[in-house]
Chain A
């Protein structure tokens, strides 16, 4: 079955560490997205990518970095510059330009700073 796989499910980061969250999809979708969700809050867009080797900053990109070397993969690095990284991180994919098509989400990574 096609879908999006995020790993790990839970991640603990020490102060000052960089960590990388994995997102892989086999839906053949060109567009991929990273969102952050804080308790009781909506989804906030971190980065998005429409094609390989191209990505754009979202609303809250500071302290994060991404790469898109393969169509299937869009890893997110949470750097030490991100001062409040504890959150639920969601990866999604879609077919760009298909306005009638929603997003498919991965099951998320819950990051906690210890």
Chain B
């Protein structure tokens, strides 16, 4: 079983719509969770950290469910520029917090 699992998609979303997707993780001791965005042929960039209470950053909302070991990302009012691959990232709970990356969920926003 992979340590971080994501639905690869693609999620095809009309512009202005809402899209949400999850990721599951296997290590119950993980303490830090992130969503990264990766554009085609570019490096991943930190989108947002995910906190236990859930958090929002503009049109993006992240949630953490420790009991079921999943995190989610919701994008409201999708823009064409939101088209990207979204990587779920979880720390490995080792002594120095190495991160484990999911393979990504592709989102395609269409006009």
Contacts and interface: CB of A to CB of B under 8 A. Distances in A.
A42 B104 contact: yes
Interface stretch (B62-70, B75-83, B88-96): B88-96
Contact of A102 (B36, B41, B102, B103): B36
B16 interface: no
Contacts of A43: 44, 87, 101
Given A31-B96, A107-B42, A102 B49 contact: yes
A102 to B, nearest CB: 5
Given A88-B41, A105-B43, A105-B45, A41 B103 contact: yes
A41 B34 CA distance: 18
Nearest to B93: A99
The size class of the interface chain A forms with chain B is 20 to 34
Contacts of A88: 41
Interface residues of B, number: 24
Contacts of A31: 96
Secondary structure class of chain A's binding surface, majority of residues: loop
Interface centre among B34, B96, B103 (most CB of A within 10 A): B96
Contact of A98 (B8, B41, B97): B97
Interface of A: 31, 33, 35, 40-43, 45, 48, 50, 88, 90, 94, 96-108, 110
Interface of B: 8, 31-32, 34, 36, 41-46, 49, 87, 89, 91, 95-99, 101-104
6 closest Cβ pairs, A-B complex? A42-B103, A96-B96, A105-B43, A99-B32, A99-B97, A43-B101
